[in-house]
C-alpha cells in the first residue's frame, strides 16, 4: 500500500481520507485535486468543493476558465450550508501563460482578479518557452528564465502567491533554475501516467524537494475512450480493478498517489468526481505497483513536439514511441 513515511505524505486527522504533502512553507497540499480546462461548467466546481470535498483546484490563464472558477468558489465560500468551506481550506493553483512573462506580477494580478482571490496557493510557469515567432525555425520570444523567476519570487514576497513552481520542465532546466533561485520551485507539473511514467525525472524532482504534479494521470481517458493508449482499457489494470472491487480509474490514480504524485484528473461528470475521490481508499501491493510500472511506453498524450500551436519545439529529451498495437499489451 502507500508508504506514507517514505513519500512524505500525511493523513489529515479531521475531514476524511485526503492525503497531503507538506510544502517548504508548511502549507498542506492535497494529493488529489481537480484538473480543469476551457468550457468548464460552473456548477461542477461548486459541486466538487461542497459535495465531494475537493480542496485542490488547478487552472491556468491559458484555460480561459478562471472567471468561472472564481464565481464557483465565491458561491462555495458564501454557502450557508453546513458543508461551506473557507478560503484557507482550499489550495488554488494557476499558471502564467507564454505571452505574459514580460509582466509576471501583472499576469498574476489578472488571474487573481478573475478568480476573485487575494492570493494563490501556488503559481506556476506553464511552460519553458514563450511566444512562437517563427514556427519553421522554432524561434521563440521570451525573457530569460532567471528574470521570469525573479519576478515570480517577488510575487511570493508581496503575498500574491504562497509558493511558486514550474510546469513541463525537464531536468536540465531545473538544474539551471536551482543554481540561482532564492525561492526554490516546490512543484513541477508534468504529464505522468502508466504509459508515460517519466520515472527518472520524477525521481530527480523528488530528490530535490520538488513535488511532481501529474496532469493527464488517466491518459486523457475521456478524450481517447476507445484508444489503445487509454490505460483504463489495459487488461492488467482492469483485472487489478476487478480484484479490488474498484474501477480502472481508481487503480490508475492510486498507482500515481502511491508513487508520490499529486494527481489532478479532469472530468465534467459529477459521478466521476466521486469515483476519482474514492481512489484514495484503494490499496495496491508493491507487486501490483510494479506491474503497472512495467506498462510504461514513454508515450506522451500531450506532446508539444506534435502540436503546431507550440511551434513543434522538442522540449523533452524523448518523444512518443509508437508501438505496433500487437506489442502494447504483450
Which residues are identified as catalytic? Answer: 63
Q: Give dist(CA 132, CA 153) in Å, integer.
A: 25
Of 110, 33, 98, 104, the closest CA to residue 70 belongs to: 110
| DSSP structure class, residue 1 | -
Instruction: Work out whether the CA dihedral 66, 69, 75, 79 comes out positive or negative.
Output: negative
What 3 state SS string does 220-284 have? Answer: CCCCCCCCCCCHHHCHHHHHHHHHCCCCHHHHHHHHHHHCCCEECCECCCHHHHHHHHHHHHCCC
- Of the candidates 97, 45, 41, which has an alpha carbon nearest to the alpha carbon of residue 72? 45
Strand-by-strand arrangement of the 19-22 sheet? 9-11, 19-22, 28-30
Q: Is 209 left (phi over 0), alpha (psi -120 to 50) or beta?
A: left
- Alpha carbon dihedral 33, 16, 7, 86, in 10-degree steps, equals 50
Distance of CA 73 to the CA centre of its chain: 19
Plot region of 298 (φ>0 → left; ψ -120 to 50 → alpha; else → beta):
left
What whole-number distance in Å separates Cα of residue 300 and Cα of residue 274? 27
Amino acid at each position: 500500500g502507500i508508504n506514507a513515511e517514505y513519500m512524505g505524505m500525511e493523513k489529515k486527522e479531521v475531514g476524511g481520507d485526503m492525503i497531503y504533502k507538506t510544502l517548504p512553507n508548511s502549507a498542506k497540499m492535497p494529493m488529489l485535486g481537480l484538473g480543469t480546462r476551457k468550457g468548464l461548467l460552473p456548477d461542477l466546481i461548486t459541486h466538487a468543493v461542497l459535495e465531494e470535498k475537493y480542496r485542490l483546484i488547478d487552472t491556468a490563464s491559458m484555460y480561459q476558465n478562471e472567471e468561472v472558477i472564481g464565481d464557483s468558489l465565491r458561491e462555495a465560500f458564501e454557502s450557508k450550508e453546513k458543508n461551506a468551506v473557507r478560503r484557507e481550506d482550499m489550495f488554488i493553483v494557476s499558471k502564467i501563460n507564454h505571452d505574459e512573462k514580460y509582466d509576471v506580477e501583472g499576469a498574476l494580478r489578472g488571474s487573481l482578479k478573475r478568480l476573485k482571490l487575494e492570493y494563490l496557493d501556488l503559481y506556476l510557469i506553464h511552460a519553458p518557452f514563450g511566444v512562437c515567432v517563427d514556427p519553421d525555425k522554432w524561434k521563440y520570444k521570451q525573457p530569460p528564465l532567471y528574470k521570469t523567476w525573479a519576478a515570480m519570487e517577488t510575487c511570493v514576497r508581496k503575498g500574491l502567491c504562497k509558493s511558486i513552481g514550474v510546469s513541463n520542465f525537464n531536468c536540465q532546466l531545473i538544474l539551471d533554475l536551482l543554481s540561482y533561485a532564492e525561492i526554490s520551485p516546490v512543484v513541477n507539473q508534468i504529464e505522468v501516467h502508466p504509459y508515460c511514467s517519466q520515472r527518472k525525472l520524477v525521481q530527480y524532482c523528488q530528490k530535490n524537494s520538488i513535488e511532481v504534479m501529474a496532469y493527464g494521470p488517466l491518459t486523457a481517458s475521456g478524450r481517447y475512450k476507445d484508444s489503445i493508449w487509454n490505460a483504463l482499457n489495459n487488461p492488467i489494470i482492469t483485472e487489478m480493478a476487478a480484484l479490488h472491487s474498484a474501477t480502472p480509474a481508481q487503480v490508475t490514480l492510486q498507482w500515481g498517489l502511491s508513487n508520490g504524485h499529486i494527481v489532478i484528473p479532469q472530468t465534467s461528470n459529477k459521478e466521476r468526481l466521486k469515483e476519482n475521490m474514492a481512489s484514495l481508499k484503494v490499496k495496491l501491493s508493491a507487486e501490483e505497483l510494479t506491474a503497472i510500472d512495467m506498462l510504461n511506453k514513454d508515450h506522451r498524450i500531450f506532446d508539444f513536439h506534435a502540436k503546431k500551436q507550440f511551434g513543434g519545439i522538442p522540449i523533452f529529451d524523448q518523444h512518443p514511441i509508437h508501438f505496433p498495437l500487437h506489442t502494447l499489451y504483450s
